[in-house]
Amino acid sequence: MPQFTTTRRIPHSATDMFDLVANVEAYPQFLPLCESLVVRSRRQDGSRETLVATMTIAYKLIRESFTTKVVLDREAMTIRAEYLDGPFSHLENVWRFEPHGRGDCIVYFDIDYAFRSRMLGVVMGAVFDRAFRKFTEAFEERADEVYGAPA
């Protein structure tokens, strides 16, 4: 199964980065391949919020939608997405945010996935791999836009 993991030091606070990643409705504005994202449901339970969201990804003539359960755990500063339905046989995504220094944070990003269809895996595998490698950069650039570029 393809997997990508990265750790980056970001010049924005852990809280700001958590909020930015938790704002899933904004993903189509800046995230590679993300054509649309619809939140189907939301449930709050203390410091945890659970969403069910459907993302549509598009590349050239290929369009696929998939649904995930996303757990936003503000206390633990983690965001976890678990696959529910779509073209994958497996998809898990975890973000973790740790304060570091004066207003900086360390962002941990991990995604593990496999396509259900071997053909779709062949066609989209390399595209997904490149896109996932750019995810943390896309969020860092978005943070600079939303919170201001670091001095």
Residue-range definition of the domain harbouring residue 143? 3-147
Backbone phi and psi for residue 30, each to the nearest 5 degrees, phi listed first: -150, -10
Q: Are 70 and 78 in contact (CB under 8 A)?
A: no
The number of folded domains in the chain is 1
Q: Are 124 and 97 in contact (CB under 8 A)?
A: no
Which pLDDT score, from 0 to 100, does residue 115 have? 85
Which pLDDT score, from 0 to 100, does residue 1 have? 61
Which residue, 81, 94, 89, 80, is CA-closest to 54? 81
Q: How far apart are alpha carbons 85 and 52 in whole angstroms?
A: 11
CATH number of the domain within which 140 lies: 3.30.530.20
**pLDDT mean over 51-76:** 93
Residue 85 pLDDT more than 90? yes
